[in-house]
Amino acid sequence: MKFSKSSLLASVVGTALLSTSAFAAGVHPETGEKLADDQTFTYRVLDEHSSVDPAIVEDVSGSELVRNLFEGLYNQDNLGNLVPGVALSHTVSDDNLTYTFKLRDNAKWSDGKPVTAGDFVYGWQRAADPANASPYAWYMELMSLENAEAIIAGDMEVSKLGVKAIDDHTLEVRLTQPLPYFALMTTHATTFPSPKWAVEAHGAEWIKPGNIVSNGAYKLETHVPQETVSMVRNTNYWDNESTIIDKVEALVMNDENVALTRYLAGETDRTEAPAGQFPRLKKEYPDQAVVFPRLCSYYYTFNVSDSGPEEFKDVRVRKALAYAIDRRVITDAVIQGGQFPAYTFTPAVTAGFEVPKVDFADWSQAERDAKAMELLAAAGYTKDNPLEFDMVYNTSEAHKKIAIAMTQMWKQKLGVKVNMNNMEWKTFLNERGNQNFELARGAWCGDYNEASTFLDLMDSGSGYNDGKFNNAEVDKLLADAKSSTQPQANYTRIEEIMAAEMPVIPIYHYTNTFMMNAQLKNWPIKNAEQNWYAKNLYKVAK
Amino acid sequence: MLSYILRRVAIAIPTLLLLIIISFLLMHAAPGGPFTSERPLPPAVLANIEAKYGLNNPIYVQIINYIGGIITEFDFGPSFKYKDRSVNDIIAHGFPVTLTYGFLSFAVAVIVGGALGIAAALKQNSWLDYFAVGVSIGAQVLPNFVMAPILVLVFTLWLGWLPGGGWNDGQWNHLILPVIALSTSYMASVARLTRSSMLEVLHTNFIRTAMAKGLPYKVIIFKHALKPTLLPVMSYLGPAFVSMITGSVIIDMYFSTGGIGQFYVNSALNRDYAVMMGITILIGGLTILFNLIVDILYAWVDPKIRY
């Protein structure tokens, strides 16, 4: 997780070796595998992307496109470690507030112009500029950039943002507080550079094919809304020599079953396995069905705010409900996608996160059930005076199945009566965000690969803390972790407090279940954030 | 007739206006907004976005600005979700797509459905009748969201004859599956309506008289029976035509055609106000237009109707 100089240096050397090695046609330069003649990578996306403008993009499918079209200061390797992008290296001042990035001098835009530090300054200013109203403007604040907050609020000129081009190849960034994982944040699409001349020439239309100028390994060729986006090799890209995939195509398919059929018909190289079908697919296509952990948590949150029910203010009730859920049944019998039963909020796959010893994780389910019955009885609920509450989830077949399984477990083991409700997504968010619920479904995916991206939700001041859990010790541990170089102990302690207080019921940690063409190689399955770069992929011959 | 048409057009304008205002209000009354998300935006960021799109104005100002934009610049506003595109872009790209597959589906439904219905009525209680009724009931009970994945399974995966989706500028092989999936249930309705209407007409006095007079069978059917048969069918076809050419969310979803049908549903779910308004106005306008056309056609088909 921590950014290390030596690994960076190793990757610089590695990249240099790669680009100078003889690139024999038709053979992979490192592995010697015979390459397929057609190096087109086609993948399915669930929905049309929001934008391919790095300063504006907010969704996953848009970020995937941006990551292939543009290149930021750093990229991630297959494990999620930093490797040089436009930046070769950086230095940090003694007070940890000033970062100086050294940029490579051979990086070029797709129109041949050099990529300069000024392009990053312009890109970051665009992201923060209130006139652009980027939904990801807050990322500039999250990075603790100097004056970002005032600029976004419209109280300061955008030129005062804490980022400066010392010369064409030196970028200086000033922070308001030390941020140990700052360098990691520069792999995010919002921090990618923008070509000022193209933006000024075409205005809002600059991201359309024909107008767009980009500095990544690919350039945008066509975009047919709601159907396809295709990208082709950017011959001006500095590492074009070692890029193998020639063309990348994203096909929009809203329905996962049709997407699977079209995958099986050979129309795409990658699609998601529909819920519940993974075991069958794994059996029929063992070389194509892949599963790996994902940086996301599925949970239910108690409303412990003033508007929440009295029952949930009793920690014994919260614990009893959390204990009585047999997570194995949910992962293995209900959703069947290889998910991991969760006893902590933060997924085990999170970089640097050591899963703390949480007592109920080690018990058998029978022990958990016994404890749950004991706790609920102690809280004063019996067969004649059963616990009753409402639970709500957003409308979806999968959520419904899980909710039914949970309520059945509660009913059978504890005699609890639950009224299930489902709501359409935006209504659900509105109600949950305003604490108009008793027990609500939640899911969270990490914005970056560090435990604080999950645990920050437990901060009493967090806008994402829907249950309004409020614990002074957690707040302090989180605040201290921000500037600590060894925050792991804090994270462990927070998880212990959560296990003791049970503000949320962790259910499972997500997996990605893909169907992937067996010819497609080097997919970063060990990169928990799934930040993939088509330039690192290749297809071998059959 | 002309004054009737002018009167109908004059009524259409306030109707559309009312449609716009009511939809606008209903949409804003729905909980959540276009920028409600799992990660609530910080207030300053949200304020900037709302200022950019004019969502910080009182609702009556928003309505006036919106209608003003349409009248003065024919500008239906931006999409809040697909930030690279405006509503005009979305409709300009999506409507020709739905128009193409919708029109073809309409033609298939009318020609095949009409032929089946007439044939069934003329040979009532024969094997042809049972076949036609069987086909139309089968087509009716097989909704297109069942039909679509089955078609893809059979023609794309098993037989490998046709692409499973995409539009490819409306290339013929991309059209076949969407048109079959969209037209079948309409075809079934047309067939059943035509059959029952034809049967009714065949039992009327004027047909009996024509038979008694010894007119040739063809003349009776095509000259005298067909027109009155079409009356109930036509009142069904007007709205059916509009709903076909304005697309189907099922077709767009399953075949990734890029039509406006899915935008209509998704924009409502996403609270993408301008997109939803734009498509509502388009569908509303077309519905009014085609109801008028059907009414005019009535007068042509049935001499008893006078405006």
* pLDDT at residue A11, rounded to an integer: 45
Taking an 8 Å cut-off on Cβ atoms, the answer to whether B49 and A133 are in contact is yes
* pLDDT at residue B142, rounded to an integer: 84
Q: Is the model's pLDDT at A3 over the cut of 60?
A: no
Cα-flanking dihedrals φ and ψ of residue A434, to 5°?
-105, 15
* pLDDT at residue B141, rounded to an integer: 85
Residue A35: strand pairing partners: A540
- The answer for residues whose C-beta is within 8 angstroms of residue B285's C-beta and 6 or more apart is B12, B16
Task: To the nearest 10°, report the CA torsion of A519, A525, A531, A537.
Answer: -20
Q: Is the model's pLDDT at B306 over the cut of 80?
A: no
Q: Does B166 touch chain A (CB under 8 A)?
A: yes
What is chain A's mean pLDDT, rounded? 91
Q: Is the model's pLDDT at A466 over the cut of 60?
A: yes
Task: Tell me how far CA of residue A403 lies from CA of A94, A235, A440, in angstroms.
Answer: 52, 51, 10
The residue whose two tokens read 């996306």 is A45
CB A295 within 8 A of CB A528: yes
pLDDT band for position A276 (cuts 50, 70, 90): confident
B89: chain A residues, CB-CB within 8 Å: 225
Interface of B with A in 194-223 (CB under 8 A): none
* pLDDT at residue A9, rounded to an integer: 42
Nearest to A426 among B41, B165, B271 (CB): B271
Largest CA distance in chain A: 79
Interface test with A, best of B52, B253, B256, B262 (most A CBs within 10 A): B256
Q: Is the model's pLDDT at A336 over the cut of 60?
A: yes
> Once rounded to an integer, what is the mean pLDDT over residues A220-242?
94
pLDDT band for position B226 (cuts 50, 70, 90): confident
* pLDDT at residue B258, rounded to an integer: 87
Task: Tell me how far CA of residue A295 lies from CA of A241, A378, A509, in angstroms.
Answer: 32, 37, 8
Q: Is the model's pLDDT at A21 over the cut of 50?
A: no
Q: What distance lies between CA A31 and its chain's CA centroid? A: 30
How far is Cα B180 from Cα B174, in angstroms, rounded to an integer?
11
Q: Is the model's pLDDT at B37 over the cut of 90?
A: no
Taking an 8 Å cut-off on Cβ atoms, the answer to whether A253 and B31 are in contact is no
Q: Is the model's pLDDT at A54 over the cut of 70?
A: yes
What's chain A's Rg over C-alpha atoms?
Answer: 25
Task: Tell me how far CA of residue B234 lies from CA of A286, B79, B224, B229, B240, in angstroms.
Answer: 55, 36, 17, 9, 9
* pLDDT at residue A23, rounded to an integer: 46
* pLDDT at residue A4, rounded to an integer: 43
* pLDDT at residue A312, rounded to an integer: 96
B46-50, B166-170, B297-301: which is most confident: B46-50
Pairs from A402-409 (Cβ < 8 Å, separation ≥ 24):
A402/A298, A402/A330, A402/A334, A402/A335, A402/A507, A403/A441, A405/A329, A405/A330, A405/A333, A405/A334, A406/A300, A406/A325, A406/A330, A406/A507, A409/A324, A409/A325, A409/A326, A409/A329
Q: Is the model's pLDDT at A462 over the cut of 60?
A: yes
Range with the poorest average pLDDT among A223-237, A439-453, B293-307: B293-307
Tokens of A235: 């011959």
How far is Cα A137 from Cα A313, in angstroms, rounded to an integer?
36
Q: Is the model's pLDDT at B294 over the cut of 60?
A: yes
The tens digit of pLDDT for each residue in A83-141 reads 999 999 999 999 999 999 999 999 999 999 999 999 999 999 999 999 999 999 999 99
State the complex-level ipTM.
0.82
CB B305 within 8 A of CB B56: no
Size of interface A-B (CB pairs under 8 A): 142
* pLDDT at residue B307, rounded to an integer: 67
Residue A508: strand pairing partners: A298, A341
Q: 3-class DSSP state for residue B283?
A: helix
Instruction: Tell how many helices (H) and how many strands (E) occur in chain A.
Output: 17, 19
How far is Cα B125 from Cα A167, in angstroms, rounded to an integer?
89
Tokens of A197: 């001349």
The tens digit of pLDDT for each residue in B255-274 reads 988 888 888 888 988 899 99
Task: Tell me how far CA of residue A85 lies from CA of A145, A447, A533, B234, in angstroms.
Answer: 21, 20, 12, 64
How far is Cα A399 from Cα A428, in angstroms, rounded to an integer?
13
Share of chain B above pLDDT 90, in %: 39
B167: chain A residues, CB-CB within 8 Å: 224, 227
H or E segment and range at residue A515:
strand A504-516
Interface of B with A in 36-65 (CB under 8 A): 36-42, 44-45, 48-49, 51-53
Q: What is the 3-state secondary structure (H, E, C) of B214-274?
A: CCCHHHHHHHHHHHHHHHHHHHHHHHHHHHHHCCCHHHHHHHCCCCHHHHHHHHHHHCCHH
Q: Which residue type does B307 have?
A: Y
> Nearest chain A Cα to B249, which residue?
A254
Q: Is the model's pLDDT at A219 over the cut of 50?
A: yes
Cα-flanking dihedrals φ and ψ of residue A538, to 5°?
-160, 160
Q: Give the length of chain B.
A: 307
How far is Cα B59 from Cα B20, in angstroms, rounded to an integer?
13
Nearest to A253 among B153, B165, B167 (CB): B165
Q: 3-class DSSP state for residue A300?
A: strand
Q: Is the model's pLDDT at B2 over the cut of 90?
A: no
CB A79 within 8 A of CB A351: no
How far is Cα A126 from Cα A121, in angstroms, rounded to an integer?
9
Answer positive or negative: Cα dihedral of B296, B300, B304, B306. Answer: positive
pLDDT band for position B1 (cuts 50, 70, 90): confident
The tens digit of pLDDT for each residue in B52-99 reads 899 999 999 999 999 999 989 888 989 988 888 889 989 998 999 999
Answer positive or negative: Cα dihedral of A401, A403, A406, A412. Answer: negative
CB A456 within 8 A of CB A478: yes
The tens digit of pLDDT for each residue in A157-169 reads 999 999 999 999 9
Surface-to-core class of residue B159, CB atoms within 10 Å of its CB (0-12 exposed, 13-18 middle, 19+ buried): exposed
Q: Does B304 touch chain A (CB under 8 A)?
A: no
> Nearest chain A Cα to B254, which residue?
A255
Taking an 8 Å cut-off on Cβ atoms, the answer to whether B94 and A226 are in contact is yes
pLDDT band for position A482 (cuts 50, 70, 90): confident
Q: Which residues of A165-189 are buried (b: 16+ CB within 10 A; e: fewer)?
A: beeebebbbbbeebbbbbbbbbbbb
Taking an 8 Å cut-off on Cβ atoms, the answer to whether B254 and A251 are in contact is no
pLDDT band for position B301 (cuts 50, 70, 90): confident
* pLDDT at residue A243, rounded to an integer: 95
CB A200 within 8 A of CB A191: no
Answer positive or negative: Cα dihedral of A201, A204, A205, A208. Answer: positive
pLDDT band for position A181 (cuts 50, 70, 90): confident
Q: How many CB atoms are located within 10 Å of the residue A333 CB? A: 11
Q: Which residue type does B188 have?
A: A
> Once rounded to an integer, what is the mean pLDDT over residues A232-239?
96
pTM attached to this predicted model: 0.86
> Once rounded to an integer, what is the mean pLDDT over residues A233-245?
95
* pLDDT at residue B249, rounded to an integer: 86
Interface test with A, best of B39, B80, B89 (most A CBs within 10 A): B39
- The answer for residues whose C-beta is within 8 angstroms of residue A271's C-beta and 6 or more apart is A43, A44, A253, A256, A259, A260, A262, A263, A514, A515
DSSP labels, A432-448: HHTT--SEEEEEEE-SS
DSSP labels, B47-94: HHHHHHHTTTS-HHHHHHHHHHHHHHH----B-SSSTT-BHHHHHHHH
> Once rounded to an integer, what is the mean pLDDT over residues B159-165?
89
Q: Which residues of A434-470 are buried (b: 16+ CB within 10 A; e: fewer)?
A: ebebbbbbbebbbbbbbbbbbbbbbbeebeebbbbbe
Range with the poorest average pLDDT among A408-417, A491-500, B47-56: B47-56
Task: To the nearest 10°, report the CA torsion of A351, A357, A360, A366.
Answer: 100
* pLDDT at residue A12, rounded to an integer: 42
> Once rounded to an integer, what is the mean pLDDT over residues A346-371?
92
Antiparallel, parallel or unpaired: β A388-394 and A417-423 = parallel
Cα angle B119-B122-B124, degrees, rounded to a multiple of 5: 100
Q: 3-class DSSP state for residue A273?
A: coil
Largest CA distance in chain B: 85
Nearest to B165 among A131, A262, A463 (CB): A262
pLDDT band for position A225 (cuts 50, 70, 90): confident
The tens digit of pLDDT for each residue in B94-129 reads 999 999 999 999 999 999 999 999 999 988 889 989
Q: Does B145 touch chain A (CB under 8 A)?
A: no
Q: Is the model's pLDDT at A437 over the cut of 60?
A: yes
pLDDT band for position A18 (cuts 50, 70, 90): very low
pLDDT band for position A6 (cuts 50, 70, 90): very low
How far is Cα B174 from Cα B162, in angstroms, rounded to an integer?
7
pLDDT band for position A15 (cuts 50, 70, 90): very low
* pLDDT at residue A268, rounded to an integer: 96
Q: Does B79 touch chain A (CB under 8 A)?
A: no
Higher pLDDT, B85 or A281: A281
* pLDDT at residue B305, rounded to an integer: 74
Q: How many CB atoms are located within 10 Å of the residue A95 CB? A: 8
Taking an 8 Å cut-off on Cβ atoms, the answer to whether A133 and B262 are in contact is no
To the nearest whole angstrom, how far is the Cα of A173 from the nearest Cα of chain B? 22
How far is Cα A480 from Cα A489, in angstroms, rounded to an integer?
11
CB A66 within 8 A of CB A78: no
Answer positive or negative: Cα dihedral of B167, B172, B176, B182. Answer: positive
How far is Cα A242 from Cα A29, in angstroms, rounded to an integer?
8
DSSP H stretches of helix in A379-469: 397-414, 425-433, 452-455
How far is Cα B44 from Cα B123, in angstroms, rounded to an integer?
73
pLDDT band for position A68 (cuts 50, 70, 90): very high
Q: Does B83 touch chain A (CB under 8 A)?
A: yes
pLDDT band for position A25 (cuts 50, 70, 90): low
Q: Does B170 touch chain A (CB under 8 A)?
A: no
